[in-house]
Every structure is written in structure tokens, then in C-alpha cells.
Amino acid sequence: MLRVSKLTDYATVVMTVLAEAGTDVLSAQVLAERARLEIPTVSKLLKQLVHAGLVESFRGVNGGYRIGRAPTAISVAEIVVAMEGPIGMTECSVHSGLCDHENHCGVRGNWQRINQAIADALASVTLADMMKPPGPKRPIPTPLRVALV
């Protein structure tokens, strides 16, 4: 269905909660409460976010998690990459040598272009944007097309 995993979705939710807390350190527990998620789940995705450097962790009593950067400096693309690895729409296009048909495949290059465009789209939305309520719908300007073909 061309989707990100549910974990990734949850990760954005948790990140917004963390962003709202500013520089406060929140434990996995209160994070779970505020995000309305299970603790083990939150815990799991937090680990990945820490690993990616988007979140800082503190151990011991009164430990917890704190956002690693300003919400305006974190893009949705980074969260997606942290959770799912590199963005690539097709198996083949991410690394060469995997697909037998690579040589006679006319579409590989074009998929790579599409990948890039989508990655850029994701990269252009910041965590701060995700915190705001969705604004009034504005039509997508068509210069995007120019970028792809």
C-alpha cells in the first residue's frame, strides 16, 4: 500500500510529544502516557531514535529522553530513515547488483529520480510542521512535475 510502518507513525507522535516538552527529560513511562501507547512499544522506537541521534537518553533514576535538536531542525525524512532505513521506492534501485535484470531494465534510473523527489518531499517537512494543526489546503504547485521528468 506504499506506506510507512505503524512504528514510524508512532515515532512521529512520540517525537511531537518530546518536542512539546522542550528541553525537559521525560521517562519512557510518561512518554507512553502522553502518546497513548504501550511502554514497550515506545521504548523500542525510542531506542532507534536515540541511535539515529534524534533523541538523547539519560540513564539511572530520573533518567529519560530529551529531544536532540530543535523541532525546526528535524525533518520527517530523518524520522522515517531512523525507523526504516534508507528511502528507496524499489528494491532494485537502492543498491546495484541485486537485480538480475539491471542491465536491460529501462526504468531503474527513473525510479531513482522518483525516490529522490519523495525523499526531498519528506525532508522538506519538519517536526515543527507536524506539531501545527494542518493548515488550509493549498493546491500543490506543479513545478514539482518539472523536477521529476
Partner DNA sequence: GCTAAAGTGGACCGAAATGGTACGGTTTTC
Partner DNA sequence: GAAAACCGTACCATTTCGGTCCACTTTAGC
Binding site for a second copy (CB under 8 A): 1-4, 6, 8-9, 12-13, 16, 35-37, 76, 80, 84-92, 94, 100-101, 104-107, 109-114, 116-118, 120-122, 124-126, 129-135, 137-149
**Which of these, 44, 18, 52, lies nearest to 130 by C-alpha position?**
18
Q: What is d(CA 27, CA 44) in angstroms, rounded to the nearest whole number?
A: 13
Place of cell 531542525: 73
Contact between 116 and 147 under an 8 Å Cβ cutoff? The reply is: no
Among 102, 113, 124, 145, binds ligand FES (CB under 6 A): 102
Give the separation between CA 73 and CA 125, rounded to whole angstroms. 10
* Binding region for ligand FES (CB under 6 A) out of 19-27, 50-58, 99-107, 120-128: 99-107
Interaction site with ligand FES (CB under 6 A): 9, 13, 92, 99, 101-102, 105, 107-108
